[in-house]
Amino acid sequence: MLIEEASPRQMLEFLVAAGIETPLDEHPVDRFALSVPTPVAEPQRPAAEAQPARMAGGGPAPLAPDAAIMEARRLASSAPDLDTLRSLLDAFDGCALKSTASRLVFADGTPGAPIMIVGEAPGRDEDEIGRPFVGRAGQLLDKMLAAIGLTREHVYIANTVPWRPPGNRTPTPQEIAICLPFIARQIELSAPKILLTMGAPATQTLLGQKEGILRLRGRWFEYAMTGRTIPALATLHPAYLLRQPSQKALAWRDLRALSTRLRNSG
C-alpha cells in the first residue's frame, strides 16, 4: 500500500495531539550530531574574578538537582511571608519546568484560609492566566467546593509544582523534589487547619505515601510542619474525575468528611 507523505499541517496536528505544544528553539537541533567537547584545563583564576557558570547562550548554567534542592530549601526557609516566597520562587532558576512554562502559577483563593488544597501542576489554562485550577478541572473543583457550601474565597489553592510541565505531562520525581521546599513553606506560611491533597503526586509527595490514590483517598494523615502537625485528607483529582465521572461519588464522600472535620475543628 502506498503511504502518502504527511503535509506540514498534518505533522503539526500530529505533534499537538501527542501533547508536544512547546517549541524550545527556533530551529531543530540534531543532538546526535553534536560532538562532546573535550574539557580543556583552564588556568586557575583568582577567587575574586570567579564568575557564576554560564551557558553558551549567556544565561546561567542550570543547577545540578542536588544543588537545586539545597538552594530551594535555603530560599524557601528564608521567606518570612507568602509575598516574599512568591518573589523568591519567581526568581528561582533551579527547576527546568520554568524554562518551558509561560509564567509562575503560585496560588489562588485566600492565604490563611482554614483549608489549603494542593493539586499536581498547572495545565495550559493555568499557564496562560497565572492562577491554579482555572481550566475544566478547576471548574469541577469549584462545583465540588460548592457542594459543601464553600467557594474559592474559603480556601487557599496551590500546586505541587508551580510551572506547567510541557504537554501537561506528570512532573518528574526530580522536578517535584526541587519544588518541594517551596510548597512546604507555602503550606507553613498559609497555616491552614486542614490540608486537602488532590491526586497521587500531591498526596504521595506531601504525605510521604507510596500507594496509589485509589487506596489513599478518603484517608486522614498527619501533615508535619515545623513545630506542629495538621490533619490532611487525600482525595481524587478533579481532572481524573472528568475522565472517570463514575468516581465522583467517592470524591463527594471525601468532601463531606472534610466539611465535618472542619465544622468540628472549632
- Interface residues with ligand URA (CB under 6 A) are 119-123, 126, 132-133, 135, 137-138, 159, 239
Which residue number has the CB closest to ligand URA?
A: 119
User: What percent of the residues of the chain are helix, what percent strand, and what percent coil, each to the nearest 5?
Assistant: 45, 10, 40
Q: How far is the CB of 12 from ligand URA (least distance, A)?
A: 25
Q: 194-198 and 228-235 as β-strands: parallel, antiparallel, unpaired?
A: parallel
Q: Would you say 133 or 221 has its CB closer to ligand URA?
A: 133
Residue 70 or 242: which CB sits closer to ligand URA? 242
Nearest to 165 by CA among 59, 15, 20: 20
| Nearest C-alpha neighbor of 200 from the set 188, 192, 209, 191 | 209
Instruction: Work out how close the CB of 70 gets to ligand URA at its nearest, in angstroms, rounded to a whole number.
Output: 26
Residue 96 vs 183, nearer CB to ligand URA: 183
CB 159 to ligand URA: min, Å: 5
Alpha-carbon distance 215 to 190, whole Å? 28
Compare residues 131 and 261 and give the one whose CB is closer to ligand URA.
Answer: 131
Q: Is 118 helix (H, G, I), strand (E, B) or coil?
A: strand
Exposure pattern of 196-234 as b/e (b: 16+ CB <10 Å)?
A: bbbbbbbbbbbbebeeebeebbebebebeeeeeebbbbb
Q: How far is the CB of 57 from ligand URA (least distance, A)?
A: 30
Q: How far is the CB of 3 from ligand URA (least distance, A)?
A: 38
DSSP 8-state class, residue 36 = P
Cβ proximity to ligand URA, 121 vs 216, nearer residue: 121
State the nearest-atom distance from the C-beta of 180 to ligand URA, in Å: 15
* Residue ranges of E strands in 81-180: 108-109, 115-119, 155-159
Choice between 63 and 184, CB closer to ligand URA: 184
Q: How far apart are CA 139 and CA 134, in angstroms?
A: 7
